[in-house]
Amino acid sequence: MSKRNLSDYQYFKIDVTDGIACIAFNRVKKHNVVTLETFKELNEFLMRVGEDEGIDVVILTGNGEKAFCAGVDIESFEIQNAGQALEWAIQCQSVFSSIERLPKPVIAAVNGFAFGFGVEIAMVCDITLASEKAIFGMLEIKHGLLPAVLLTRGREILDKKTISYLAMTGDHFSAQEAKEYGLINKVVTHISLIDEAYAVARRIQGNSPLGVSMVKRLLNRQGEKHSDDVVSFLPTLFLTNDFGEARRAFAERRSPNFKAN
């Protein structure tokens, strides 16, 4: 692989062994929350994977014992105008598109907290395993936003009632509930999660690469439309007073006082 060394990625811990690339969100002290730079690094790495004939499967997980990815870093939102809002939406959506367009399977191994973006990134991976200790939650509604990917791509995975409940309440839910909803494939013991992910990856490696790629392509053929839909409406929410109030409330550790504007 060319370009930067794998150890030079700031927001990820990466290992490539025997044709399997394991990439872990790596902001452990902040529960692996993501920023614009995180999106850019992940997109860059996935592009490299797509070009590397020595990599067959990707495993996406979280470094540390507590979190897979606890969503977007609210403190990093510095959006002052429509241009910045649009950049956020485009960069965020590009991650989902990169996973869906990658001609190689991506397995999510959810090892802990998965909130907001963390739930949605696990959802769009081709196969998702979760630790029995994993906790999920679509928290966007509590921050004056909405779970855009759940509302678009999620319609192909979950039913309307489930999406409504998760999107409108922002409630936490367990790994077992996530499996019952159809969000993940399998719940495993915490200690066996990564071993299980590698076992699935090795079974996939034994199958036809062209067949695996075609399965993925057919299942994700609506991905670009979903991205366009999200980018068309999400930036507007970043500029609302309610979102600004949610950010202030988060910093001040209090409940937001939403005004619906």
Catalytic residues: 120, 140
What distances in angstroms separate CA 105 from CA 26, 48, 222, one per listed residue? 21, 14, 17
Q: Which amino acid is at 138?
A: M
| DSSP character at residue 117 | H
Q: Are β-strands 172-174 and 186-188 bridged in parallel, bridged antiparallel, or unpaired? A: unpaired
Report how far residue 4's alpha carbon sits from residue 161's, in angstroms, rounded to the nearest whole number.
45
Six-digit token string for 257 = 């006082």
Report how far residue 143's alpha carbon sits from residue 93's, in angstroms, rounded to the nearest whole number.
19
Report how far residue 38's alpha carbon sits from residue 29's, in angstroms, rounded to the nearest whole number.
15
